[in-house]
Amino acid sequence: MQNMPNWWHRRHSFENLLGSILSGRGSNQPHTYLRAVGDIGSRAQITNDGPHRTRVHSGFIKPGDSNQYVTRLPTLADDIRSTEDAGAILFIPVAMHHDLSDANGVKNETTLFGGWMDHGFFFVTNEARDVEHAGAFPTNMETEVYSTGYAYYNRPTSGNAWWWGAMVGVDHDKDGGRYGRSVVGKSYMHFEDFSDPNSLNIALINMIDTTEGRDYPDIVWNDVFVNDTGHFIKGGMAGAFHGPDNEEASGVFYEDGIAGAFGASRAIGAAPDG
């Protein structure tokens, strides 16, 4: 990941954004997509490729609220504020926090990480249970993924554009040898023709696990439909555009054994290599 020499300036900007979201200030209410994946008990779960996952839920939801699909939303602001500088991906600041607890000889590892832009953020919480040491293969785990931003509820009608950014996630493939590992990578989105609502392409690329740096295949959603309010969903992915003139976008996903969230911005200015 890139170094971010202006990290604390951006951190201050994020504190302002988070404070605005928590207080509900602004002409637009923050809109959130969320879901949980893993060994999640009885919470509205469905089975897909082994792990259980909740349905994607969205609405005028913010940290501090409660929701039937996730457990950490009431304390999400504290989770976010506990993170520390982890660098940046395509100039989007990324923050992370690890905690290894030991209760009666059973070790549980909590990982909190995500990134933010000017009008929204994306965040992942992961609780890995019964691990021998930090980063070890857990007996089971639960991941919650969040995407929050100020949506302006519109879609451009002419032209085209690119967005670039970052993704964070957790490997949920118990047969792949990397179950429970954190995953980071790049995201990009290309709206080929604003007049065609089915012409959005989204890709998560250059993904690696943070333990060994081993890569993952790209995850791609082509011909994604974007509705008149700037929201989109396809397969295991859902998200929305944020900010004036749809400057940013973020979303959540569970695809190819990875549960995570992503964000992207038009302000970055150049397409990623690879």
d(C-alpha 205, C-alpha 218), whole Å: 5
pLDDT per residue over 97-125, tens digit each? 989 888 777 888 999 999 999 899 999 99
Using the predicted structure, report yes or no on whether residue 181 has a pLDDT greater than 70. Answer: yes
Pairing of strands 182-191, 52-54: unpaired
d(C-alpha 206, C-alpha 218), whole Å: 7
Domain boundaries, the chain: 7-265
CA angle 160, 10, 23 (to 5 degrees): 90
For residue 151, what are the CA distances in angstroms to 132, 191, 192, 236?
Answer: 43, 17, 21, 21
Using the predicted structure, report yes or no on whether residue 139 has a pLDDT greater than 70. Answer: yes
* Secondary structure class of 129 (helix, strand, coil): strand
d(C-alpha 11, C-alpha 8), whole Å: 5
> What's the pTM value of the predicted model, to 2 decimals?
0.91
Which residue did the predictor score with more confidence, 31 or 7?
A: 31
Which residue did the predictor score with more confidence, 87 or 183?
A: 183
* Secondary structure class of 142 (helix, strand, coil): strand
d(C-alpha 187, C-alpha 193), whole Å: 19
d(C-alpha 249, C-alpha 240), whole Å: 6
**Mean pLDDT (whole number) for 188-203:** 94
